[in-house]
Amino acid sequence: MVSSASAAALSAAIAQTAATAATAASVATAAANVRAIEVLIILYGVFISHFYDTIKASPSIILCSGSINPEAGCVTIPVVSDTCTSFTGGLSFLDEVVSNAQVPAGFVCTFFSAFGCSSSSPNDRIVLTGGTWDFFSVPGNNGNESFNDEASSFSCSPI
């Protein structure tokens, strides 16, 4: 027969073993949670890095109401292929004041004297390829011509 003291000691040993097992399970769960958080942080960093690289790699056009070098009154606008950008709303300050542009390499951009990239004659638009352009002298239908302070919209496409 087991004495009450032995039963109490056995009961205490079982309780201690159960507490140790519960503590070990809690530690294992906490370690797993920490590892899961570490993985999420790494994945978030990879996502942000990729997102930044995508933005950084997007082609942009620089338009200036003043000089392009040094820059004066310039704004950088992401190029969205085959989409018309009118100088309205937040870009209204550029309407009929663009004097210089830097078109990204590998693109051709058409500038229009009307909003909505509309044209009623060949003389109310210019077509520029990648490079830096002074709108006082750009290629036109009759040789070089001025398109300074005339642009109200533009559209770019990859070549």
At 19-74, the pLDDT tens digits run: 666 666 676 676 677 676 776 567 666 666 555 555 556 899 999 999 999 999 99
Distance, CA of 122 to CA of 147 (rounded, Å): 12
| Whole-Å CA distances, 57 to 62, 86, 88 | 15, 23, 26
- Structure-model confidence comparison of residues 16 and 115, the more confident one: 115
pLDDT of residue 24: 62
Q: What is the pTM of this model?
A: 0.65
